[in-house]
Structures are given as structure tokens and as C-alpha cells.
Structure 1
Amino acid sequence: MSTPLNALLTLHAFADAGDPRGLTSVCSAHPLVIEAALIEALQTGSIACIEATCNQVNQEGGYTGMTPVDFRDFVLAIARTVDFPVGRILFGGDHLGPNPWKHLPADEAMAKAEAMTYAYAAAGFGKLHLDASMACADDPTPLSVATIAKRAARLAIAAEQGASEGSHPAPGYVIGTEVPVPGGAMEELDVLEVTSPADAATTLAIHEETFREAGLEGVLDRIAGLVVQPGVEFGNANVMRFKPEEASDLSGWRQATGGIVFEAHSTDYQPTEALRALVAGGFCILKVGPGLTFALREALYGLDQIAGILVPSYTGGALMRSMEASMLAAPKNWAGYYPGSDEEKFVQRHFSYSDRIRYYWNLPEAQRAVEALFEALGERDLPETLVSQYLAGVYDDVSAARLKPTARNLVIASIRKALAPYSAACSRG
């Protein structure tokens, strides 16, 4: 029987045969996003690939306070509530490397990165993106590909040991990184440089040679993906859509080389036709994260306005004011990313495509505000006219009686609307 790990490792075979299959990789730690992703995968009969980043989840807790074991158990608990088969979940670790500790000297940062990668593998994460591309405190900038590959090999050794000692199958790997750094661009974008075939070939060749020298010959067949820049990205206020013709040389190199597919990061907000074109071009692993919490925030803010209309004791805008207070009280997760005037920063804090507000939903005061919103609306059916006004994306399903318009249902449905283009792009039909 095929497993989620096998599905990852055989992506290249379908692409090499001219029948590419896609894999949606959901990178989020928000419980409602994970629930929506599992329901979407259940309804479409697909694998649920759920990933955590090195900053979200690590052996020190990350910004979510969760270790890899904690995150795994957190997702499994949600899966049980929606009757999702746990055997169809592929857990992934994204940008595993020294990024959380890059302020430290390289030796210290890499020791922590190795411990983190070991912990991910020991917890049963089967898809590991090894990314040692970031310069540490005593490193030159930028790092050479050779240095990046040597550090990736160290991480792979830790992962192999972790998987073995955790009694899990040996994991599949993704190598390489994208530009800009994780989390999206800070500026408005108008031009992106697509990875050249020469750079992709160099990255792959040096990693393979370095892994062999490190005694990792057996790992090479499990390098499933190479992260490249296909020409997709989002800034605070705009989205660069995929243009297949600009990545045709890169796609041609992959097809001629075979044995690997591309992983595309920052595919958030791409329309269905762009995602389908990515998969067709060999960019078979589609990462999405901020676009899903953006949809979550849209839905919650819409419900916040509806509650203000329907519930006398609830003041519309209460959730937004609470989130604004939280972001102003702890600005480190947005202050360096949102330029402009105070008015422009206010808009970006709440409505930026980069969605830095996602770092605040797990705060106790934010959770209380969301709970107060759900409690105010309860299980009542919300008027479809108000759904049309404030949650237009799911209005058709409500008006056609395909969706019961309770507050929670509307949030899950809104996130699934953001996932639907990925399901369409990754389906075989």
C-alpha cells in the first residue's frame, strides 16, 4: 500500500513520465487552518501534508511553544476530531537549519540546528527541508553553495539518526532555498529573477557530491525536491503571478535531468490556472501558509462585523481592536516588515498579504477575543444577506444550502476556499 512518504518520493517518476502530480504542503500551526486542510484532504481523497517551520516549532518550543513531538500530537488530535486517517498525514519540517539561531556563531547555531533536525525526524516527520543557506554571526555573506551543502549534510546525518532511533522510516528530503527569505518579501514587487538551470544544476550536483563524501550515499534517492524560484512571490500589497514561459528553461532542465521535482515556496494567492501550470512545469510541491491564515483573518473579521449587527452585547470591531493592541504591545513580528506612515502600517498590520498578524493568534488575549466572538454568535444560522456582505467568498455555498451558515462552519469553509485551487491543481483529473 502506498504511504504518504512514498507519494512524496515518487513525484519525480510521474513528472519524468510526463504525467506530473502535485502535492499541497500546508505550512501552518493554526488549529483552524489545520482542521480545514484535513477536511479538504478528506473530501478530495488526497494526502494531507502538514508542515511546521523551524521558527514555529523546534526543540526549544519556537514561537508556538511546541516541540516537534508536541506539533505532531497537536495535529493528530485535530485529525481525530474530523475522523481523518492518521496514516494519510505526511508531516514536514520547513527550512530546518540554523535560521532561529543565526545571531550565534556558526558552530553554536549548527549544533542547535542538528538537534532540531534530529528531533523532527525522531518525532516521525517524513518530509524534511534542509536549509542551511542563512549566514550566522561569524559567517561571510552570502554563504558559498559548498558551505551550505556541507551543513545540509550534517543536518541529514542528524535526521537519519533521529528517524532510526525513533523507529520511523528514513525520511525524504528537500534541499535548496528560495529568495527572498522565508515569510515573503517586504517590499512591493515588480520583477523576480527565476532560478537559472545552471544554478539549479550546481546546487543539486554539489549537494549530491557532498552527501556522498559524508557517507550519505543511501540518502540520495530520497532527495525528492529542490527549492527554486519559479517567479512567484507576494509582498505586502501585491502578488507576482506565475508566468510559465519565464520558467520554461528551468522546467526543461528538470525534465531532461529527471529524478527530482521542484518545490515552490510562496505560492500563496496564486490562482488555479497558475498552480496547475506550476505542477505541469515540474514545480510539483506547492507550499502555502500565509494565504490560509489570511483567509482565516478575513473570515474572523467578517464575523466580527456580523456579530456587531446581530448581538446587542457585542461591539463590532472588537476583535480587530484586540489584535491591534496585541500587535502594538509586541511589535517585533511586524515592525521590521511594514514600512510607510502610521496609517500605512496600520493597514499592513491587519491586511498585508504577508500576514504577519498570524504570529499573534496564539496569544492568550487573541484566543480570548476569538472565543468571545464565537460565543457571541453561537450555533445560530447567520443570515445569508450578511454572509453576502461580509463573507462573500462562501455566499454561493450558503445560498445554495451546501453550507450551514454557523460561524465556525463559515471560517472553515473560507479557509477551504483558499485551499481549493491547490486541490484542483494537484488532482489527477
Structure 2
Amino acid sequence: MVQALQEIVAARRQGRRAGITSVCSAHPVVIEATLRHGLSRQGPVLIEATCNQVNQEGGYTGMTPADFRDFVLTIAARVGFPAERIILGGDHLGPNPWRHLPADEAMAKAEAMIAQFAAAGFGKLHLDTSMGCLGEPDALTDGVTADRAARLAAVAEAHAPTGHAPVYVIGTEVPVPGGATEALDHLQITKAEAVAATCAVHKVAFARAGKTAAFERVIALVVQPGVEFGHDAVIPYAPEKARDLSSALGGLPSVVFEAHSTDYQSAAALRHLVSDGFAILKVGPWLTFALREALYGLDAIADVLEGQPPRHGLMRRMEALMQAKPAHWLRHYQGNARDLWVQRHFSYSDRIRYYWPEPEAEAAVLEVEARLAGRRIPVPLLRQYVPCVSAWDEGGDGFHEVLLRAVAAVLDVYRSATEG
């Protein structure tokens, strides 16, 4: 199915508009919503796992690449989505999870990781070796980055199933996964000349590694088109500012751009991105942000139906959990106690998404669901707290359907941008 990604590149070369949404999440509701959303049209669904979520050591999800593949395919079978229409991708594959180690050790672990991604049938591999390891500068030279990317590609080529050669995404100017943690007033759009230089240095590195055929399957470059989000702000795409960058694709007919951190962009901005050659739109935190909005809204609805103003019990329980286990947010949020409180629950970077799989969080969500079971929710009340949903199935699985619809509302925005 990776041929569908190569067809997007071909469409661009022929002057036709084409794009695809890359869903970067490991939450089961997000995966189910994505696959259900894909049932209503033809073509592939692209689902990606990052090196921090999923790796040979389990990542923060506890899943290896094969585990993640089976996780997605199990959901697909349940909802009736054809497995052959699923493209699995590995995102930010490189030494990032182990950059606290010396480069040789970190790269050895990165090689073991990409071997498992390739062997598990992940067909789209983003080679991200731009970060320094122990004792190295934070950002490496293009030459070092390309040499390390070629090393990883060689491993992937050796472990991919016969007849299922992967496609690759490269780049040396890779935005921070999950949104920025610093001020957004100095965002730098990738220079057009840097694009050609990146391609050239990778082409040489792949050839030196004896992997010219693999380089011919590079379909995209990760660049910074001038989009980003922080805790409470979003930088919208400005086509006029990215005109030179977009025009650089004219000299590189075999690739498109991959845009990271497109979460929270408007439908118009996303459409402009695709039209300008940023054909792969990655989204992740926005999907779980929408899920959290729906969960908090349903918790408030349960209180109202019980005859009282919202008590925000779910929020209080999630707050206690995040305070007890601060590792996922402590280094990412800044400010005084009130700022941190707001960011823990409402930051666009949505660090709360790491906590939903915790047993305490699952129990709290199940309690909200039980309080709403068999209840009738008047439409005006539903609109007040979950405005993206206009109906409640009191005789069926209304709670779960509301969560799916909240995620699908975001996917609708991306569909309108990538299709037609």
C-alpha cells in the first residue's frame, strides 16, 4: 500500500493536488476513530508510531513495533477496516530515546529499533538522526546526519519483508515532536537552498553505503513551513512566507514535503499546505486534545443530570495522577503554580495524553461512563459541553460514540484539506 504514497509524489509532479493525513497516536479510541473514518472512502489510512511511543524496549506505551502493528490490526478487524489499506509508519526513527548515551551506543540501539520496525512491516520510515548524543552538539551537521540516516536505511533494507521495500522520509530541520516548549516568536522557515543541500548530502551518503536503490524510495523531506503550536498559541500557516520553500520542490520532482506539528491549523491553512507541496500532514496531540475535551464534557454532563453544577471529578482525579507521576509533563511546562495547573489540563501539547492508559485514569473514565449508562442527554445539554456532537444514543454505546465523534471531527478537517 506504500505505492499510494509514491502516487502522491507522482500527482504532485503532474501538477495535480494530492495529500494524506498521518495520524500519530497510540490511543485506542483515536486509532478506532481513524479507521472508522477511513471506511467511508477509498484509499489508505496512514498511522504512525514515534520512537518514544514504540521501540524494541517498549517505549512509553510498552509496545514493540510488532505489538503496535498487532494492536492496530486488532482494532481494524473489529471495525471491519481492510488490513491491506493500512500503512504503518515509524516516526522520528533514530537515536532520540537514547541521546543521553554516547553516539555509538545510541546508534546501535537505533539500528536495533529500525530493524524491528522494518521487520514488522512498517512501510514508511522517517529517518531522524539530526540530534546530537552525549558529548555532541544539540544539532549535527548535515553530513553526519545523512551518514547516520543511511546507516539506518541499510538496516531497514536488510530486515524488511521480501517484496515490501519501505519508503523513506528524510530531513535535517525536524520540528520538536509534540509541539514547541519555548516561545514561538522566532520560528524559522526552512531555507529553499537548504532543501536541495539536504537531498544532495543524503544522496551521497546513501550511495556511499551502497543503498542507492533505497534513496530512490525517499518520498518526502521534513521541513519547517512556519507552523507550530505551543501551550496556548498556534502559528498559522502563511503561504506567502513559505513561497520560496514551496518553490524548491520544482527542482526535486521525486519528493514532497512532510509537515509536522500541523495540529490546530485551520481547514484553510491545511488546504494551503497541501496545495504548496506539504502533502503529508502529521497530526497527533489535537486528536487526544479533542478526546480529553469530550471526556471532561461528559463528566460535566453526568453531574448536571444528577442535579448539580459540574464538580469536575474526572479533572480532579487526573490532576492527582499527574501530580503523583509528573515525569511526562514536568520538563515541558513552565510558570507558576496556576500556569502549571492550566497547562496540565489544557495545553495544546496535551501531555495529559500520556496518562489515559494508567489504571487510575481508566477507572475514572469507566466511572463517568457508568454514570451516563442508559441516561437520556438532551441535545441542548450535549451541545453545551460536547458541541461537536449533536446526538446521543441512549440505547447503545453513546459514551464511546461521543468520543469517536470528537476525534472524527478533527479528522474531518484534515480530510477536507487532503482530498479534492
Measured against aligned partners, the alpha-carbon deviations of 1:264-320 in whole angstroms (never above 9, x if no partner) come to 000001111111100100000000000100000000000011112224799842211
Aligned position for 2:119: 122
Give the deviation of 1:385 after TM superposition: 1.5
Aligned position for 1:265: 260
Aligned position for 1:68: 65
Measured against aligned partners, the alpha-carbon deviations of 1:319-363 in whole angstroms (never above 9, x if no partner) come to 111111111111121111111110011000000001111111111
2:313 & 2:149 partners in 1: Cα distance?
Answer: 46
SS, match of residue 261 in structure 2: coil
The structure-2 alpha-carbon separation of the partners of 1:68 and 1:168, relative to structure 1 and needing over 3 Å to count, comes to farther
1:188 & 1:406 partners in 2: Cα distance?
Answer: 40
2:96 & 2:138 partners in 1: Cα distance?
Answer: 14
Aligned position for 2:407: 415
Give the deviation of 1:45 after TM superposition: 2.7
Q: Please point out which of 150, 155, 167 is paired with 1:172.
A: 167
Task: Name the amino acid aligned to 1:72.
Answer: R
Give the deviation of 1:257 after TM superposition: 2.4
Residues 5-14 or 303-312, more deviating: 303-312
Q: Is the 8 A contact 2:175 2:261 kept in 1?
A: no
Aligned position for 1:193: 188
1:313 & 1:345 partners in 2: Cα distance?
Answer: 28
Aligned position for 2:8: 11
2:174 & 2:130 partners in 1: Cα distance?
Answer: 10
Q: Is the 8 A contact 2:301 2:310 kept in 1?
A: no
2:294 maps to 1:299: yes
Aligned position for 2:215: 220
Q: Is the 8 A contact 1:15 1:255 kept in 2?
A: no
Measured against aligned partners, the alpha-carbon deviations of 1:138-191 in whole angstroms (never above 9, x if no partner) come to 323321111111110111011111104xx4601000011545421211134234
2:370 maps to 1:375: yes
Give the deviation of 1:80 after TM superposition: 1.2
Using the aligned pairs only, state the percent identity. 55
2:104 maps to 1:107: yes
2:374 & 2:100 partners in 1: Cα distance?
Answer: 48
Q: Please point out which of 221, 242, 248 is paired with 2:243.
A: 248
Runs of 5+ unmatched residues, structure 1: none
Q: Is the 8 A contact 1:163 1:170 kept in 2?
A: yes
2:277 maps to 1:282: yes
Measured against aligned partners, the alpha-carbon deviations of 1:21-55 in whole angstroms (never above 9, x if no partner) come to 10100000000001111111112334110000000
SS, match of residue 44 in structure 1: coil
SS, match of residue 10 in structure 1: helix
Aligned position for 1:52: 49
Q: Is the 8 A contact 2:54 2:60 kept in 1?
A: yes
2:160 & 2:308 partners in 1: Cα distance?
Answer: 53
Q: Is the 8 A contact 1:178 1:227 kept in 2?
A: yes
SS, match of residue 50 in structure 1: strand
Q: Please point out which of 199, 210, 214 is paired with 1:204.
A: 199
Q: Is the 8 A contact 2:69 2:120 kept in 1?
A: yes
SS, match of residue 291 in structure 1: helix
Q: Is the 8 A contact 1:55 1:63 kept in 2?
A: yes
2:398 maps to 1:406: yes
Task: Name the amino acid aligned to 2:21.
Answer: T
SS, match of residue 56 in structure 2: coil
Aligned position for 2:340: 345
Task: Name the amino acid aligned to 1:98.
Answer: P
Aligned length: 419
2:308 & 2:340 partners in 1: Cα distance?
Answer: 30
TM-score (norm 1): 0.94
1:379 & 1:145 partners in 2: Cα distance?
Answer: 59
Task: Name the amino acid aligned to 1:143.
Answer: L
SS, match of residue 245 in structure 1: coil
The structure-2 alpha-carbon separation of the partners of 1:325 and 1:287, relative to structure 1 and needing over 3 Å to count, comes to same
Task: Name the amino acid aligned to 2:335.
Answer: G
Task: Name the amino acid aligned to 1:199.
Answer: A
Q: Which runs of 4+ in 1 moved over 3 A?
A: 177-180, 311-316
SS, match of residue 105 in structure 2: helix
The structure-2 alpha-carbon separation of the partners of 1:248 and 1:315, relative to structure 1 and needing over 3 Å to count, comes to closer
Q: Is the 8 A contact 2:172 2:198 kept in 1?
A: no
Aligned position for 1:137: 134
SS, match of residue 174 in structure 1: strand
Measured against aligned partners, the alpha-carbon deviations of 1:51-74 in whole angstroms (never above 9, x if no partner) come to 000000000000000000100000
Measured against aligned partners, the alpha-carbon deviations of 1:216-235 in whole angstroms (never above 9, x if no partner) come to 01112210110000010000
2:210 & 2:370 partners in 1: Cα distance?
Answer: 57
Task: Name the amino acid aligned to 1:133.
Answer: S
The structure-2 alpha-carbon separation of the partners of 1:379 and 1:85, relative to structure 1 and needing over 3 Å to count, comes to farther
2:300 & 2:43 partners in 1: Cα distance?
Answer: 35
